[in-house]
Amino acid sequence: MNEQPSGLLPHDIQAEMATLGSMILSPKAFELAKDRLKPEDFYEHKHQHIFSAMLDLFDDKGTIDLVLLKNELEKTGKLEKIGGVGYLPELMESVPTSVNAEYYIELVRDNTVLRRILELRATLGDAARRGSEPDKILEQIQRFVEGIQSGSVKAIPPITDAILEATEYMEARSEGRLQGIETGIPPLDCILHGLQPGMLSIVGGRPGDGKTSVAENIICHACIEKGVPTLFFSVEMPAYQVVTNLQRILTGIDYSEVSRGTFTATNYDKWQGAAKRIAAAPLLLDDTGAISVSRIKQHVSRESRQRDVKLVIVDYIQLVRFEGARDRRLEVGGVTQELKGLAKNFNLHVLALSQLRRVSKDHPEHVLKESSEQEEAADVVILLGHDAKYGPGMEPEPPVARRKFLIDKNRHGRVGAFFMTFNKPVLRFEGVTDGESNGGDGMADRGLPAGHDDPLSQGRLARQVDTAVGEPIEGQDVPEDEIPF
C-alpha cells in the first residue's frame, strides 16, 4: 500500500480510478464492487459521485456504459463536479483490463479501513480523556471491528465457475495445449504445462549454476519471442549487464568476443538487431538494489494495471528486503509469502530465484536457504545442480556442461529430474541430454530437437523428455554423487 505524505489520510487514487474503470468494462467487476464497497469508501469526492451514479443507473437500467453514465451524472447535476465529461474516458484508460478488479477493490477497501481506524483512535482518545467507562469504550471498539469484518467478507462464487475453469483446463491438456506461459525449456513445459497464472515458482541454485541464465532464457523466449508482458526485478545485476546477457542468448555470440568489444561485421549486425528486438519487447527492467517487497508490490500493481503484465521475475529472494522482520528466516519467509500473494491477487506468474545452501557437515544436502518458508509458499520448486567432480579445488567445469533440473515440488503435477546442456559462453540451455552425458556439441538450438517446434509434441521430443525425466525423484537411477543437491 502506498505511503501517504504527512497530514494526508490513507488513500490510493489510482486504485479508485482502476476500480471505477473496471466497473464500466466488466459486469462481473461491477457486481464485485457493488457488493463490497459503498460511496463513502472512495477518498475522492468525485469518485463517490461516480460510484453512486453507477449504482442508481444499474438499478434503473440494469446496465452501465459511458453514455448512460454521462447522462445520469448530468441529470443529477454532478457532471461538472467530477471535472466534466472528459474524466470518464480517463477512468477506462487507467486500466487496460478488468482482470485485476478484485485487487483494486481490496486496495480501496483497505484504505477505507485505515482511515476509519484513525477516526476511531481520535474518538477513543476523547472518550478516555473524558473519563468514559472502560466497558463502553471496549464495546465501541468491538462494534467497530465487527462492522469492518462484516463489510470485508467476500461473496463466495458459485461452484459452476470452478467447474467451468477445470473443464477448460482439462480440454487444453487433452489437446496438447499449454495452459500457461511457454518457457522455451521443453522438458519444463512438458512437466508444468507452462508457467501457470496465480502461481509462484522458485528456481534454486548456487552461484555459477545458472539460475539467472534460466530466467534470462525464459525472458528471451516468453517475452521477446512470444510477446508476454514481463517485469524483471534484477536486484543483484545492473540493467546493462542483463541486457548484454539477453543479447548473448539471442545472438549466440561468445563471451570472449563480447568482452573484447570487437565484433565481426556479421556479429555486429546481429548484436544491434538483438538490441532492437529487446527494445521492442514488452519488457520492464528494474535494477534497484536491496529493493523492498512493498516497492515490488507497488510496481506490480501499477504495471499490471497499465501494461497487463503476466510474468514477474525476481532475482533473487534473499536480496529483497521485508520491513519489520525480526530475523533472516522471517524476512525471507515474509518476502516469499508476499510474492505468492502477488501471483494470486494479480492472476500472473511469479518466478523467483533463490540461493541454495552450500554443503556442510551440518547440512550435507543442497536445499534452499531458509527453505521451509519458501517451500511452503511455492507452487513449484526447481533445484539446479552440476556434476560433483567440478567445483572449487577440483577439476574446472568445461564451457559446455550439463545441468540437472530437479523438480523438487510441483503442487499440481509430477516431480522428477531432467538434464539440459548449458552453453555458458552464450548463456543458452541448448538441449535435453541424459543422465550419463556431460553435454557437448550436437544439441539443437533453443532446446528443440530438429523438426520439433511444438514443446508438447508427442513424437521424438516427448520420448526424449520422458527418458530424461523418468520416474518420480525417489525412483531416479542417476547416482546420488553425480549431481549434488
pTM as predicted: 0.62
The pairing of strands 311-315 and 349-355 is: parallel
CB 432 within 8 A of CB 447: yes
Over range 336-349, report the average pLDDT: 89
Report the pLDDT averaged over residues 31-58: 89
Q: Name the CA radius of gyration of the chain, rounded.
A: 26
Domain boundaries, the chain: 13-152, 172-475
Per-residue pLDDT of 163-191, as tens digits, reads 887 888 788 777 777 788 999 999 898 88
Q: Which fold has domain 172-475?
A: Rossmann fold (3.40.50)
pLDDT at residue 399, as a whole number: 86
pLDDT-derived band at 367, boundaries 50, 70, 90: low
- Position 272 scores a pLDDT of 92
Q: Fold match between 13-152 and 172-475?
A: no
What pLDDT is attached to residue 454?
A: 36
Q: What homologous superfamily is domain 13-152 in, according to CATH?
A: DNAb Helicase; Chain A (1.10.860.10)
Give the closest residue to 112 by CA, choosing from 49, 37, 55. Answer: 37
262-310 pLDDT, tens per residue?
A: 888 888 899 999 999 999 999 999 999 888 888 888 788 778 877 889 9
Write the CB contacts of 322 (distance below 8 Å, at least 6 apart in sequence). Answer: 292, 293, 330, 331, 332, 334, 335, 338
Mean pLDDT of the 331-335 span:
82
Question: Residue with C-alpha cell 525476481?
Answer: 314
Q: Which of the residue ranges 2-6, 88-92, 116-120, 311-315 would you say has the lowest mean pLDDT?
A: 2-6
Q: How many CA atoms lie within 13 A of 301 on its CB side?
A: 26
Tell me the pLDDT tens digit for each residue of 411-458.
888 888 899 889 889 999 987 666 544 333 322 333 333 333 333 333
* Burial per residue of 252-288, b for 16 or more beta-carbon CB atoms within 10 angstroms, e otherwise: bbeeebbeeeebeeebeebbeebbebbeebbbbbbbe
Q: What's the CA gap between 367 and 357, in Å, rounded?
A: 6
What is the rounded average pLDDT for all residues in the chain? 78
